[in-house]
A and B are shown apart, each in its own frame.
Chain A
Amino acid sequence: GAVVSQHPSWVICKSGTSVKIECRSLDFQATTMFWYRQFPKQSLMLMATSNEGSKATYEQGVEKDKFLINHASLTLSTLTVTSAHPEDSSFYICSAPAADSYNEQFFGPGTRLTVL
């Protein structure tokens, strides 16, 4: 199946700093990618839909100025958590549908963010 990678796999930062997380489709192109957040012992919560060449679509309640999404190429989407605070500590996961796979989406391994 198609492979989606994320970088970094984990990051620890100080409160007030910004953190960038990359999501790459390694062997396919993705015009659409999705970003999720998952708190401990909870389900995945969709944050936004990343669209190549256009603005991201954010889910209700997600601050677009805090979670900046850029989808500059067909294989890369980035999520920047700006002015991170401890409550932003979470597991961030991206997914992408492959063009030749009509039914499934492929998920990255996730990025664990810890804000001190």
Chain B
Amino acid sequence: DAKTTQPPSMDCAEGRAANLPCNHSTISGNEYVYWYRQIHSQGPQYIIHGLKNNETNEMASLIITEDRKSSTLILPHATLRDTAVYYCIVRAQHNTDKLIFGTGTRLQVFP
């Protein structure tokens, strides 16, 4: 699976959009971009995934560049409960495949 690079930490004001970047320059054609987050002392939670088109669900939006070498997770209106570590993971699409976690981005939402 391709490696990902994320900034170690970011801050965001409550109510503002949080934009979390991820670089995956070695992504291959059959690999998807997945985002999970982990709130302190809990198990990770799935957020969203995509292949090449932008995706949106009730939690977030995922913007993938045309060359697919990078992506951005957008939390449109961050709340204090969005404070967590966000992991960008690249893998082929099959849910029985293992997930390899990188270091992630620690997002701190402040009042």
Contacts and interface: CB of A to CB of B under 8 A. Distances in A.
Contacts of B49: 103-104
A7 B57 CA distance: 31
Nearest to A43: B101
Interface string A36-68: 100000011110010000000000000000000
Contacts of A45: 101
Q: For this complex, into which size category does the number of interface residues on chain B fall?
A: 20 to 34
Interface string A73-116: 00000000000000000010101011001111111111010000
B30 to A, nearest CB: 14
B101 to A, nearest CB: 4
For chain A, which range describes its interface: under 10, 10 to 19, 20 to 34, or 35 or more residues? 20 to 34
Contacts of A34: 98-99
A102 B42 contact: no
Interface of A: 1, 4, 31-32, 34, 36, 43-46, 49, 91, 93, 95, 97-98, 101-110, 112
Q: Lowest 5 CB-CB distances: which A-B pairs, in order?
A: A107-B43, A97-B95, A104-B46, A44-B101, A43-B101
